[in-house]
Amino acid sequence: MTKKTKMKNLIKQLNRCKMLYLMILPAIVAVFIFHYIPLYGVQIAFKDYRSSLGIVGSEWVGLKHFKNFINYPYFGKIMINTLRINLLSLTTFPLPIIFSLMLNELRNEKFKKVCQMITYAPHFVSTVVVCSMVILFTNRNGLINIIIRALGGEVVDYMAVPEAFAPIYVISGLWSSLGWGTIIYMAALSGVSPELIDAARIDGAGRMQVVWHVQIPHIVPTVVTMFILQIGSLVGVGFEKVFALQNNLNMEASSVISTYTYQVGLIQHQFSYSSAIGLFNNFINVILILLANQISKKVAKVSLW
Amino acid sequence: MTKTTIKRRNKIQMFDVINVTLVFLITALMMYPLYFCVVASFSNPNQVALGRTLLWIQDFTLDIYKFVIEEEQLWIGYRNSIVYTILGTLWSLVLTIPAAYVLTKKYLPFRNIISWYFFLTMYVSGGMIPGYLLRKSLNLVDNPLVLIIDAGVSCYNMIVTRQYFSSNIPDALYEAAYIDGATEGQCFAKIAMPLAKPIIAVMALYYGVGNWNSYYTALIYIRDKNYFPLQLVLRNILINNQLALSNMDNLEAGAIEYLVYRARMAEGMKYAIVFIASAPLLIAYPFVQKYFAKGVMIGGVKG
């Protein structure tokens, strides 16, 4: 085909798709305004932003703000806090998988439905409410301390103990997501062919062996995909929950990149410095997810792209 | 019956007994925190503090709820959140559904580029401050409109919707319509939309829950208390201890006794508010549960 006819075809095709472009245009515009314009604004991370000069007019300062962040005395602490919370969360990664295998083995459909319904429910409780429940339960008169007292232990105000912060974060997160996290694995498990299970049974496999040799291999691709996604967010901790659980007494363990970005940006109005921290965080996240994707491509032959 | 089959049957039963017991315990454990809050909210706060309400209500009372009703801020938040959630969800749907549909058209020129255009937003973002500066220049700071239009398009939801369209509506259906002279617009309105009801329900629920439960946008962009959504009000009441307790000041009692009572009552009110705040979604959710799960599954088929 010559270039000319190609061009002609394209124009014809474009003409045919006018309506389609019109339909997608609002989404393109909305994403452009709320995602791409801020990306353009990221340049203030390399500038000394002054509102009187605007984003474009402010003076370039190179990597000054990045250097400031790395030299910030609490830089190490913030990074460690962020990593600690995420690594501890990562240890709970197998739990939804195990729970979905258990649910999958239930024979009474009604019981299974009820258990699923109840364990999914916490997913719908908002972050603020989950955090307030945590705070209510861990205070001196709260549920946890009532139980500890009944068992003869010592009453502790856990929200005031920095060491307790990461465990509290992870356990409450588990409450929110354990049930909901099983859905995707249940979907994968429903794809195991019954013949395969029957064949294994006839060959003398017990229930445990069927789970181990038939069900688990079947869901490995899903598991790997979910794992890559989790690795990708290793350096980012969601702002909402940490911020809601944070107080002056546990600050030592609860100051993470996202809350620090908020503090210097919106409370102290150091716009450029805060943007630099945000960009730094985003950069590491992208690198991590690319790495995880590459590794899983090699090792498990599964990848996101 | 031979010995081996009996043996196997026993073994199978053991497996089931252990499994059912464990699942039952986990489920009970998951339910307990909310159960405890409900029980505590109907009990005398003193009994709660003494740990006597672990299983059931003690000294049944509605006093706590009488005080909660007086918290004006809470009801303003409730009203605002309903408005924001409905309008915000509609806005997101209007943007997401047609766009996802268009992206299923393989003959669309530049389809890949447009897909990547959306896809990239999942991984790179401008971050808090550039976003803030943009909304400030658009006059969206301290403007309730920001809570409606900010949710906009979620790329993840768009992928899920696209997946639904391409795997549930065969291309042959559109081709037949084209031959009969239908335009692209008619194809969308007359063929795709009627078949898309399940996915529209899923998306409405996803966006709706997201809107209802989020407090980040409001925390950053809204200062005026009359515009606060419920979640931000809850944060102030439950986490920052800003209860008004306006009509409690009329109580006549000794100072210390009064302070203790007030503190305990405030505690009880928090349990009640946890219940009230979660109730709408928890009541609605069993009815729509199947749609939610469906959404996750469609998305899990690999976007």
CATH for B189: 1.10.3720.10
Mean pLDDT calculated for residue range B147-153: 87
Contacts of B277 in chain A (CB under 8 A): 126, 128-129
Residues of chain B contacting residue A175, judged by C-beta atoms under 8 Å apart? 30, 33
| Residue B85 covered by a domain | yes
pLDDT of residue B303: 34
B95: chain A residues, CB-CB within 8 Å: 26-27, 30
Flag whether B268 is in a domain.
yes
Mark whether B103 and B158 lie in a shared domain.
yes
When pLDDT is cut at 50, 70 and 90, the band that residue B142 belongs to is very high
Say whether both B122 and B94 belong to one domain.
yes
The answer to whether residue A256 neighbours chain B at the CB level (below 8 Å) is: no
Report the C-alpha gap between A188 and B138 in whole angstroms: 45
Q: Same structural domain for residues B98 and B82?
A: yes
* pLDDT tens per residue across span A42-96: 999 998 888 888 888 888 888 999 999 999 999 999 999 988 998 899 899 999 9
Note whether A141 contacts B: Cβ–Cβ < 8 A.
yes
- ipTM of the complex in this document: 0.85
B38 with B114, same domain: the answer is: no
Residue B81 placed within a domain = yes
pLDDT at residue A293, as a whole number: 81
Q: Which residues of B touch A222 (CB under 8 A)?
A: 300
Say how many domains are in chain B. 2
In a domain, B35, yes or no: yes
Residue B1 has pLDDT above 60, yes or no: no
Indicate yes or no: CB of A20 within 8 angstroms of CB of B108.
Answer: yes
Q: What is the mean pLDDT of residues A203-219?
A: 89
Residue B301: CB partners within 8 Å, gap ≥ 6?
B163, B167
Among residues B175, B205, B230, which one ends one of the domains? B230
- Whether residue B236 is contained in a domain is answered as no
Say yes or no: B51 and B127 in one domain.
Answer: no
Q: Which residues of A touch B27 (CB under 8 A)?
A: 114-115, 118-119
Using CB atoms, which residue from B30, B121, B277 is nearest to A122? B30
Residues of A in contact with B123 (CB under 8 A): 232, 285-286, 289
Task: Return phi, psi of residue A152, to 5°.
Answer: 85, 15
A59: which strand partners?
Answer: A48
- The stretch B154-162 carries a mean pLDDT of 87
C-beta neighbour count of B286 within 10 angstroms: 12
Last residue of a domain, one of B230, B257, B291: B230
Statement to judge: residues B43 and B95 lie in one domain: no
* Whole-model pTM over 0.95: no
- Whether A125 has a pLDDT exceeding 80, the answer reads yes
Report residue B11's pLDDT band, with 50, 70 and 90 as the boundaries. Answer: low
- Tell me what pLDDT residue B2 has: 47
Whether A107 and chain B come into contact, CB under 8 Å, resolves to: yes
Using an 8 Å Cβ cutoff, are A210 and A127 in contact? no
Whether residues B169 and B291 share a domain: the answer is no
Q: Quick check: B114 and A103 CB within 8 A? A: no
State the Cα–Cα distance between residues B208 and B203, nearest whole angstrom.
8
Contact A129 B274 (CB under 8 A): yes
Partners of residue A207 in chain B, C-beta under 8 Å:
11-12, 15
Q: Do A39 and B27 touch (CB under 8 A)?
A: no
Q: Which two tokens stand for residue B55?
A: 């299983």
List the one residue out of B208, B218, B154 whose CA is nearest residue A124. Answer: B208
A282 contact B CB<8A: yes
Q: B141-153 burial by CB neighbour count: b if 16+ within 10 A, else e?
A: eebbebbbbbbbb
Q: What is the mean pLDDT of residues B134-157?
A: 90
User: Is B237 inside a domain boundary?
Assistant: no
> Residues 50..89 of A with a Cβ closer than 8 Å to B: which?
55
Range A199-208 average pLDDT = 88
Which domains can be identified in chain A, with CATH numbers?
3-60 (no CATH), 75-299 (1.10.3720.10)
Question: Angle at Cα B189 formed by Cα B185 and Cα B195, nearest 5°?
Answer: 135
With bands split at pLDDT 50, 70 and 90, how would you rate the model's confidence at B143?
very high
Contact present, A100 and A186 (Cβ < 8 Å): yes
- One domain, residues B77 and B222: yes
Distance from the B125 Cα atom to the nearest Cα atom in chain A, whole angstroms: 6
| A184/B37 touch (CB, cutoff 8 Å), yes or no | no
Query: For tokens 């709408």, what's the residue?
Result: B280
Q: Across chain B, what does the average pLDDT equal?
A: 85
Asked if the structure places residue B235 within a domain, the reply is: no
- By CA distance, what is A233's nearest residue in B? B123
Per-residue pLDDT for A160 more than 60?
yes
Q: Residue A92 has what pLDDT?
A: 93
**Is residue A236 over pLDDT 80?**
no
Q: How many residues does chain B have?
A: 303
Chain A: closest CA distance from residue B302 (Å): 8
For residues B261 and B296, the answer to whether their CB atoms sit within 8 Å is no
The pLDDT mean for chain A works out to 88
- The pLDDT tens digits for B33-92 are 999 999 999 998 888 888 888 888 888 888 888 888 888 899 999 999 999 999 999 999
The domain in which residue B40 lies consists of: 3-69+243-300
- Tell me how far apart the alpha carbons of residues A83 and A77 are, in angstroms, rounded to a whole number: 10
CB atoms inside a 10 Å sphere around CB A108:
11
Give the total residue count for chain A. Answer: 305
Predicted confidence band of residue A172 (pLDDT cuts 50, 70, 90): very high
Residues of B in contact with A206 (CB under 8 A): 8, 11-12, 15
Whether residue B139 is found in the same domain as residue B211:
yes
Same-domain pairing of B48 and B153: no
Answer for the pair B73, B244: CB distance below 8 angstroms, yes or no: yes
The H or E element that residue A48 is part of is strand A47-48
Same domain, B84 and B131: yes
Q: Is residue B291 part of a domain?
A: yes
- The CA–CA distances, whole Å, from B129 to A38, A42, B218 equal 8, 8, 15
Q: With an 8 Å Cβ cutoff, are A136 and B270 in contact?
A: yes
Alpha-carbon distance B240 to nearest alpha carbon in chain A (angstroms)? 9
| Cβ-nearest to A27 among B8, B95, B109 | B95
CB atoms under 10 Å from CB of A192, counted, come to 17
Residue with tokens 């429940």: A133
State mean pLDDT over A117-144. 91
> Measured at the alpha carbon of residue B50, what is the angle toward residues B46 and B51, in degrees to the nearest 5?
120
| Position A17 confidence tier, pLDDT thresholds 50, 70, 90 | confident
Q: Which of B208, B230, B252 is the last residue of a domain?
A: B230
